[in-house]
Structure 1
Amino acid sequence: MPDWLSAIILGLVEGLTEFIPVSSTGHLLLAKEAMGLKDPSWDTFIVLIQLGAILAVVALYFQKLWGVLIGLPTRPEARRFALSVIVAVIPAFVAGLALHDVIKKFLFESPLIICWSLLIGGIILLFIDRKAPPAVDHDAMNLPLHKVLIVGLFQCLSLIPGVSRSGSTIVGSMLFGIERRAAAEFSFFMAIPIMVGAFALDVYKNRDALDAGHIGIVGIGFVVSFLSGLVVVKYMLDFIGKRGFAPFAWWRIVVGIGGLAVLYLRP
């Protein structure tokens, strides 16, 4: 398979899965394994194209985010929201910096861990979607600081491939009384600094390995992930409001079981 086609496929997988609780990284690594992409540069590619999907959030929420930015000097609610995002992302920033090399060396190369994470995470998500405590917080722009810190701690679980960044934050949010739509929307906002940070760290650590050829392939994946991410972010909240998270939980369970069957039964 030509590299440009692999880049398109992985870009689609990234854009379609980054903001739903199914683990974009897990799906990307499984897709990479299925396509036989053994070169380590594809692991860096997977991290880099995530910025394309994140820019989809920035594009669709630009007016709201710009309002927060220009309101920081004068509006207390803007400062509170900015502080909430900062508090929420600090745990994952610290854990990511400390464990980056270990995760990329060991966990990124384990389809078994990914499949078990998908399966177990799907079961947990299904349970939380049905049995979560009554929601008391409905505004993603105005969540209590102690709750966003807890959500940030849950996000650290997503450093394990297959767990899902959005899945871990949504589960943490709903466990502590944040309504599902608000949980998903706040997860969007948290993703921006986290994924920009992951992008910058990976570019820095792999600066010597990136050449013009890699940049072209990354560009293809970046554009595809941005466009497909736009579609998902635009319609996800309405879908969640009508259907909840159960469809995503069942998808995780099916993919996890299917992946485990392949891994355990193959010669």
Structure 2
Amino acid sequence: MNSIVTEFFKVLFLGIVEGITEWLPISSTGHMLLVDQFLQLNASEGFKEMFFVMIQLGAILAVVLLFWDKMFPFQWSDSNRPFLIKETFLIWIKVVISCVPGAIVTILFDDYIEARFHTPGVIAAALIFYGAAFIIIENWNKERIPSVRKLQDISYRTAFIIGLFQVLSIVPGTSRSGATIIGALLIGVSRTAAAEFTFFMAVPVMFGLSAIKVLKFGLFFTGEELFILVTGMTVAFAVSILVIKFLMRYIKKHDFKVFGWYRIILGILVLLWPFS
């Protein structure tokens, strides 16, 4: 009984960490791997690998709920027949284009990266490097007027370039949202449009990764494993709703530099911590 209670609180904490870090540009994977150094689930390595991806899926479902009106490409006419919303459909075409580079790199190098780069040193270096990048880019952008202000104004070329930046997030500590937002800011996309496009991109990416991990692990879970998955996904989903609402309010009046400083401080602490 005590074991179940202990695992519940571990999963609760991991779900909260995932819900916060998935959408803030501070690297959810990096945080989850660091937390795992101190708070390890009583589960096999294969299950934990899948769990970390599946709770990200819980976070993604929060985006689908909050942005359903913007994401769903169909509406119903007065005669109760569905019709396609061209503007939304074109956004999804751009999202697919942006996801191609990341999909190719993940398929080719995911196992290699997991085996060699999921270390505190790599995570710390990525946290610090991209933290500094956020501060430098935001300072550079201070007097610059964005050339792309709305999500709908993102071109196919811009979407592909943002997708190239997403490739960087295969290294833990980088942050998928952080990499795409940095790329978007560099090429003149507004903070709001960059964040919204990142939300769109996360949906097919995380559904795809979740499917791959589940097929790799298998569909048969023990009762405790199923409990861990459902609890983690539910907590990540609930926390993500609050964090996404906060982020969209925050970036209307503030830049991303505070997240850059947070990354740098955390990265330094990780380097100083005596990991075994």
TM > 0.5 fold call: yes
For residue 240 of structure 1, report the CA deviation from its aligned partner: 1.3
Q: Which ranges of 4 or more aligned residues in structure 1 deviate by more than 6 Å?
A: none
Query: Which residue, 23, 41, 47 being the options, matches 1:19?
Result: 23
The residue correspondences of 1:128-147 to structure 2 (distance < 5 A) are 128-132=137-141, 133-147=144-158
Q: Which residue of 2 aligns with 1:52?
A: 58
Q: Which residue of 1 aligns with 2:67?
A: 61
1:82 and 2:86 matched: no
For residue 106 of structure 1, report the CA deviation from its aligned partner: 2.4
Q: Which has the larger radius of gyration?
A: 2
The residue correspondences of 1:129-208 to structure 2 (distance < 5 A) are 129-132=138-141, 133-207=144-218
For residue 234 of structure 1, report the CA deviation from its aligned partner: 1.3
Q: For 1:146-199, what per-residue CA distance to the aligned partner results, in whole angstroms no more than 9, with x for missing partners?
A: 011000010010010000000000000011010111111111111011011111
For residue 134 of structure 1, report the CA deviation from its aligned partner: 3.3
Name the aligned partner's letter for residue 220 of structure 1.
T
1:34 and 2:38 matched: yes
Q: Distance in 1 between matches of 2:168 and 2:183?
A: 10
TM-score by structure 1 length? Answer: 0.92
Q: Distance in 1 between matches of 2:150 and 2:203?
A: 18
Q: Distance in 1 between matches of 2:94 and 2:198?
A: 12
Query: Which residue, 254, 260, 265 being the options, matches 2:271?
Result: 260
Decide whether the 8 Å contact of 2:28 with 2:175 is kept in 1.
Answer: yes
Gaps of 5+ in 2: 77-81
Q: Which residue of 1 aligns with 2:120?
A: 111
For residue 209 of structure 1, report the CA deviation from its aligned partner: 7.1
Percent identical among aligned pairs is 34
Q: For 1:187-216, what per-residue CA distance to the aligned partner results, in whole angstroms no more than 9, with x for missing partners?
A: 111101101111111111111674332111
- SS of corresponding position for 2:153: coil
For residue 57 of structure 1, report the CA deviation from its aligned partner: 0.2
User: How big is the alpha-carbon RMSD for the aligned residues of Structure 1 and Structure 2?
Assistant: 1.9
Gaps of 5+ in 1: none
Decide whether the 8 Å contact of 1:80 with 1:142 is kept in 2.
Answer: no
TM-score by structure 2 length? Answer: 0.89
Between Structure 1 and Structure 2, how many residues are aligned? 263
Q: For 1:114-165, what per-residue CA distance to the aligned partner results, in whole angstroms no more than 9, with x for missing partners?
A: 1111111100111111113531101113311101100001001001000000
1:91 and 2:91 matched: no
- SS of corresponding position for 1:241: coil
